[in-house]
Amino acid sequence: MAETEYTNKVNGILANGFACLGISMGTRLGLFEGLSKLAQSKETAVSTQTLADSMNFKERYVREWINGMALAGILSHEEIDGEDRYWTEPHTLPTLLGDDTTWIAQSAELLTGVAEKQVAVEKCFPVDGPRGTDVDEYPVLHEFLLRRAVMWKSPGIIHRVFEDEVLLSKLEKGISVVEVGCGAAIPTKTLATRYPQCKLLATDICADNLERAKTTCQGLENVELRVMDACNASSDLNEKFDLAMMFDVYHDVPYPDKLIAGIHRILKPGGMLLMNDIGAHESITANKEENAAMFGMYYTISSLYCMPTSYKYPDGAGIGACGGMELYERKLKDVFTDVRKVAKDIGLFFLCTK
């Protein structure tokens, strides 16, 4: 690649990075939705003042934001009768607004969330610097991740994930279930509502998350909440559960081997663990060949959040977002008698039997 071509490439990345921040603002503030309600064609295009008034925003801020989005090609613009007008094209709305299973534009909020701690992470690089950052210091990111969990509200998702017929029949009859690292406990709520005969325990090491889970599961008599480190679960939980669930947790924890051993201990003989994580490979070469842009994004996100929040602890693993499905499978097979992948059409899910 020639120098000029490389320079143009970097300039393009920089421009797209700032456009990503604009997309994040547009989703967080509801600006895309607000504009879509007013104008979905050139004929209905509106001024920045009209958009600002409809949302009770300051026009000057709306104008600066929307011009960036227009020049990035995210929104449409034309000068009409001497006035700048803006609109959303109908074909852009699924991407910009999303739904319970599609969050494309909203994913820009990941950049806003991890960038909160960039300076703190930079201080971790020197040998004599801190080992990592505190997981509780990413409020914007956690807000996004909790909202992203809405995909688990759908009972249909449960059947796509729990495709094992034996497990589904057990759920119908009623079993004991524990969710590890529950966050807002939306999977727990979904299962508890769909299978009221089941008893569920939602656990998280973070008390703040349990407060969110309390709101989520309010009124569900078959759900219990508990602040718990699954690496060191109390002995009263030994061999208590038929099913453990863990979604997008493993790569973030400082002691993953202890976590898997702890979950194994609280499962009954023949009990199952359903574990979901990012479908990256252990090898950067494999990630480059499959989807360099996507996995490159994951590495960068991980360098700002997943890795430093895990590596912070003494002997913390610091696996990172791209720890790799091959690593996860090996670790699970070290403990469980049967490990297989399920629901391959919607992500990386392991169903493991004790």
pLDDT tens, position by position, 209-238: 899 899 999 999 999 999 999 999 999 999
Question: Which pLDDT value is given to residue 100?
Answer: 62
CB 324 within 8 A of CB 281: yes
Question: Which pLDDT value is given to residue 346?
Answer: 80
Q: What are phi and psi of 80, to 5 degrees?
A: -125, 120
pTM, entire model: 0.90
Lowest mean pLDDT among 242-256, 286-300, 336-350: 336-350
Question: Which pLDDT value is given to residue 149?
Answer: 77
Question: Which pLDDT value is given to residue 23?
Answer: 97
Alpha helices in the chain (DSSP H): 3-29, 31-38, 48-55, 59-71, 93-97, 109-115, 118-122, 139-148, 155-161, 165-173, 186-194, 207-216, 256-266, 284-304, 306-311, 325-333
Instruction: Flag whether pLDDT at 145 surpasses 80.
Output: yes
Spatial separation of the C-alpha atoms in residues 282 and 239, rounded to whole Å: 32
Radius of gyration of the chain (CA): 23
Question: CA dist 55 to 51, 64, 105, 109, Å?
Answer: 7, 16, 20, 21
Spatial separation of the C-alpha atoms in residues 336 and 75, rounded to whole Å: 51
Question: Which pLDDT value is given to residue 182?
Answer: 92
Confidence grade of residue 197 (pLDDT, cut at 50, 70, 90): very high
Amino acid at 78: E
Point out which residues pair with 76 in neighbouring strands.
87
DSSP H or E stretch at residue 277: strand 267-277
Q: What are phi and psi of 115, to 5 degrees?
A: -70, -15
Question: Which pLDDT value is given to residue 144?
Answer: 87
Least Cα distance to 267 among 309, 239, 227 occurs for 239
Confidence grade of residue 157 (pLDDT, cut at 50, 70, 90): confident
pLDDT tens, position by position, 57-73: 999 999 999 999 999 99
Instruction: Flag whether pLDDT at 150 surpasses 80.
Output: no
The torsion defined by the Cα of 194, 224, 162 and 252, in degrees rounded to 10, comes to 140
Question: Which pLDDT value is given to residue 99?
Answer: 74
The two tokens of residue 100 are 């319970």
pLDDT, averaged across the chain: 93
Q: Is 89 left (phi over 0), alpha (psi -120 to 50) or beta?
A: beta
pLDDT tens, position by position, 159-177: 778 777 778 888 999 999 9
Instruction: Flag whether pLDDT at 101 surpasses 70.
Output: no
Question: What is the SS3 assignment for 351?
Answer: strand
Spatial separation of the C-alpha atoms in residues 334 and 18, rounded to whole Å: 44
